[in-house]
Structures are given as structure tokens and as C-alpha cells.
Amino acid sequence: MKKYIVPQQFLAGYQDELSRLFHRRINLYCYIAILVFSFEVVLGFIFFRRLLSAKDMPGIIGGILFSAVLLVTAPLVKSLRAQKTRAFFFSLLLVLISVLAATAHPDIMVYMGIGLVLLALFPSVLLLPWNWIEAALIGLFAIINFIWVYRLSDTFVNNEIFGINVILLSVAVSICVIIKRSEEILRQKDFIFQNEIEEKNSIMTKELELARKIHKSLIPHSIKDDLADIAVTYKPMFYLGGDYAKFHFLDRNRLIFVLIDVTGHGVSAALLVNRVHTEIEQLIREDLLPGELLKRLEEFINRDFGHMGMLLTAFCGLLDFANNCLVYSNHGHPPQILFQASGKKIVLMKSQTFLMGVGLEVADVCHNEISFEKGDRIILFTDGIIEARNRHDDFFGRKRLESFAKNNISIDPVEFNDKLMKTVKDFQADRQEDDIFLLTIQTKK
């Protein structure tokens, strides 16, 4: 029979864990022993002074002193072998003291002596994480000393009582050995299981971190251009998220931008974002109007992902700086904001059709055209902002967002994004429940 079922790669870690367990348990056992011996002395002097004779004192004082020495020297003991040696001799000492105590008072301990031995044996074996061989050695020591001391003592009454006590002690030792064998196997299996979980978690964490970096590479960076300053802020709920944005100058006077929000979070949403990114890159190269682009994207979603129940909302806009014209299309996305600087007025760019993935075929291309002036600001966001909730389950809401936009319209777009994100974070007290994407476009005069 192998001593360990723990694989070789985990063996050193298992022995370290076992050493720490012995250290904690033997310290606990020492504290208990000191308390018990001290309690015995106090009770003996107060109530049973007749029973507390000179022959009891060496065992009691020895138990207290030995326990104290083990506690004081505990920091010096590091290895598993040293920890086991420390625990083994302490266990043998307590068993020996109990056997000697059982013979100290023949007039009372005739029928109670075995009880004292069992009281020392069970904690010594069961409290500490011995293997079954070590438990058997401690039990054998208890049986041998019990037989030897009782044969020499005046407490021996007759062969019948002595035989019953030996049988009882042997049964107790056998039970302890069986328990420790089962406990040892369970402890090793649990350690292996925990290490396998940690190993798999470590691999998954590395893979998720790599996936996060890949996903992050799809997110555009903030830029400053002669026509517009664009600030990008993205904060996924988990490692990966389902929000996505893309902007691209089609030529010197036209800027197209897309904002996507995939329902759900995590890996599945991020995988769809990856696929959507590739499709949008292709559609942007075809120089389509926003409504046409989202219509084509919807056909792609229904064709390739309609059977998976993956849904998404999308907003696409095209800024024509030469004609001061904004064309936009909104598929199920929250109303986006155009802040007109001259009149300090907010224009909401509302949804014109269903979100994508529901399988409803809409023949029309949905987009609207509105004028803008240079100096106006476009604020694009996913619902992670307006649906952020505080401790009272109040939503941040569109009104708070519009109020914030009006009060902070003069600050730089990057600073605007940072300040808005901090406001939302403070509002929801760090209980983010959705991905957040914020894309602010400041047109220049």
C-alpha cells in the first residue's frame, strides 16, 4: 500500500499543508492540556484535597511544563518530521500520565481507570492528523502501558475486569485506526481536488486575461482631430464584456461611428463582439449609410446567431462636416444625446426599430437626418450608465445623465467621460451590474 495517493507534483505542497495543520492542532492541544491540568489542580485543592496527593503532582506539573515548552518552542519547529515528532511525544506523555493517574487512587479508580486512558487516547489520536500507522503506534503504546501498569498496581482486582478493560481499549484503538485511515484518504483527496481546482483556475485566469487583452484591442482609443475630439471609456462588468464601439473617418469630411450592446456579459457576449467587429469592419469599407449598415448587420446576426438567442442593440451615426449633417440609425438602443451648444438644448436620437436578433424582418432601412453645428457634442452610451442602481434600487436614469451633460458641456471630452464615470460609480457605490461604454464626440468650430 502506498503511503501517499497525492501525485508527485502536489506532494511537497501536501506535506507543507500537513505540517501547518500539525502546528495548529498541537498548539491547540497544548492549550487544552494546560487548562485541564490547571483546572484539575484548582478543583483538587478546593474540593478533593484528599485525592490530590504527592504522587499526583509530578504528572500534573510535568504535563503543564511539557505543554508550555512545546508552545514556546513551536516557532522553531518547521518541517513535517519535526512537527510529527513534537506531536508524537506529547501524545505519548498524555497517555502515560492518564495511565499513571488511573493507578494513583485504588479506592476510587478501580472501575474508572479505563475512562481516563480513553479520555487521553481519543484526543491524542483524533485531534491530530495522523496516518493510520501512527495512530496504531499511539494506541499500542496505550495498551502496553495500561497492561504493564495495571499488572503492577493495586488497582488490579480480577482477571474479568482487567480483560474487559483491555478489550475495550483494543476496540477503541481499532476504531481510531479505521477513522484515521479514512480521514487520511479523504484529506489527501480533498487536497488533490483543491490543487486541481487552483491549477485549473490559474489556467482559466491566464486565458481570460489573454482574452481580455484581445478584446481590449478591439476598443478604439481616444483621439483628437481637426474636426472632432473623440473620448472613449469602456468598463466591462467582468473580465470580458458585450459592449463595443467603432469610429472611422471615411474621408476628410465624414466620420462614421457605431455603438453595440450585446445582451449578457462575459465570454459569450465577448465572442459575439469579436465576430461583430469583423463584420462591421467589412461593412464600413463598403461606405454605407448608417441605416444600410445596421440593416446588413441585422441580416448577419439573424443568419448566423438567430438560433442562439443572442440579442443586441446598435446605434450608428455619420457626421458630414462639409454639410453639417448627422445621419443616424438606432436599433433598440437607448436614446442617444446630441447637445446643441448654441441653444444649450438636448436632442434625443431615439430608437427607430427593434433590437437585433429577435428574428423580426423589417424591410425598411431605418435612419434619420438632423443638422448639427460645429461645437455641438454627441454623447453615446450603453444602458450600463442609465440603468446603474444605488442601494435604494433607484436608477441613475436619463434625466440625471442629461442634467450632467448640461452642467459639464464646457469641459474636455476626456475629462467629461472621467467625471461622468466617477459620478456613476459613486451613485451605484461600486455595485456595477452591467458593462459601461461611453463615447463622446466633440465637434470643433
Asked whether residue 106 is domain-assigned, the answer is yes
Asked whether residue 324 is domain-assigned, the answer is yes
Tell me how far apart the alpha carbons of residues 267 and 332 are, in angstroms, rounded to a whole number: 23
Average pLDDT for residues 358-362, to the nearest whole number?
Answer: 69
Q: Are residues 196 and 224 in the same domain?
A: no
Asked whether residue 176 is domain-assigned, the answer is yes
Asked whether residue 214 is domain-assigned, the answer is no
Amino acid at 133: I
The DSSP output letter for 326 is E
Task: Give Cβ neighbours of residue 155 (< 8 Å, ≥ 6 apart).
Answer: 102, 103, 106, 109, 110, 113
Asked whether residue 289 is domain-assigned, the answer is yes
Asked whether residue 61 is domain-assigned, the answer is yes
Residues spanned by the domain of 389:
219-443
Report the chain's terminal Cα–Cα distance, integer Å. Answer: 84
| Residue 4 pLDDT exceeds 70 | no
Q: Under a CB-based contact definition with an 8 Å cutoff, are residues 408 and 419 in contact?
A: yes
| Residue 156 pLDDT exceeds 60 | no
Residue from 296, 302, 242 nearest 268 by CA: 242
Cα distances from 308 to residues 264, 275, 278, 298, in angstroms, run 13, 14, 19, 14
Indicate the residue among 139, 171, 200 that finishes a domain: 200
Q: What is the tens place of the pLDDT at every residue in 307-344?
A: 777 789 999 999 999 999 999 999 999 999 999 988 88
Q: Measured at the alpha carbon of residue 27, what is the angle toward residues 24 and 29, in degrees to the nearest 5?
A: 110
Q: Under a CB-based contact definition with an 8 Å cutoff, are residues 312 and 355 in contact?
A: yes
Backbone angles phi, psi at 443, to 5 degrees: -75, 150
Q: What is the tens place of the pLDDT at every residue in 215-236?
A: 788 889 999 999 999 999 999 8
Q: Are residues 305 and 412 in the same domain?
A: yes
The DSSP output letter for 79 is S
- pLDDT for the residue 44: 57
Confidence band, pLDDT 50/70/90 cuts, at residue 19: confident
| Residue 135 pLDDT exceeds 60 | yes
Amino acid at 312: L
Q: Are residues 188 and 289 in the same domain?
A: no
- Strand, coil or helix: 354: coil
Q: Are residues 196 and 245 in the same domain?
A: no
Largest CA distance in the chain: 116
Tell me how far apart the alpha carbons of residues 333 and 340 are, in angstroms, rounded to a whole number: 21
User: Given phi > 0 = left and psi -120 to 50 = alpha, else beta, which region is 309?
Assistant: left
Q: Under a CB-based contact definition with an 8 Å cutoff, are residues 354 and 306 in contact?
A: no
Q: Are residues 262 and 129 in the same domain?
A: no
Q: Are residues 121 and 253 in the same domain?
A: no
Q: What is the tens place of the pLDDT at every residue in 267-304?
A: 778 888 888 999 999 999 999 999 999 999 998 888 88
Number of domains in the chain: 2
Higher pLDDT, 161 or 437: 437
Tell me how far apart the alpha carbons of residues 12 and 128 are, in angstroms, rounded to a whole number: 20
Q: Are residues 260 and 167 in the same domain?
A: no
CATH, residue 334:
3.60.40.10
Higher pLDDT, 379 or 62: 379
3-state secondary structure 202-268: HHHHHHHHHHHHHHHHCCCCCEECCCEEEEEEEECCCCCCCEEEEEEEEECCEEEEEEEEECCCHHH
Torsion of CA 388, 393, 397, 401, to 10 degrees: -60
Indicate the residue among 135, 167, 200 that finishes a domain: 200
Q: Are residues 226 and 337 in the same domain?
A: yes
Q: Are residues 119 and 242 in the same domain?
A: no
Most confident segment among 61-65, 183-187, 265-269: 183-187
Q: How many CB atoms lie within 10 A of CB 394?
A: 12
Question: Mean pLDDT over all residues of the chain?
Answer: 83
- Strand, coil or helix: 21: helix
Q: What is the tens place of the pLDDT at every residue in 90-115?
A: 888 777 777 776 666 555 555 556 77
Indicate the residue among 140, 170, 200 that finishes a domain: 200
- For every residue of 52-72, DSSP letters joined together read --TTTHHHHHHHHHHHHHHHH
Asked whether residue 12 is domain-assigned, the answer is yes
- Strand, coil or helix: 151: helix
Asked whether residue 278 is domain-assigned, the answer is yes
Please state the separation of Cα 74 from the chain's center in Å.
Answer: 32
Q: Are residues 235 and 266 in the same domain?
A: yes
- pLDDT for the residue 1: 40
Q: Are residues 309 and 226 in the same domain?
A: yes
Q: Under a CB-based contact definition with an 8 Å cutoff, are residues 434 and 387 in contact?
A: yes
E strand or H helix at 377: strand 377-381
Q: Are residues 168 and 290 in the same domain?
A: no
The DSSP output letter for 310 is -
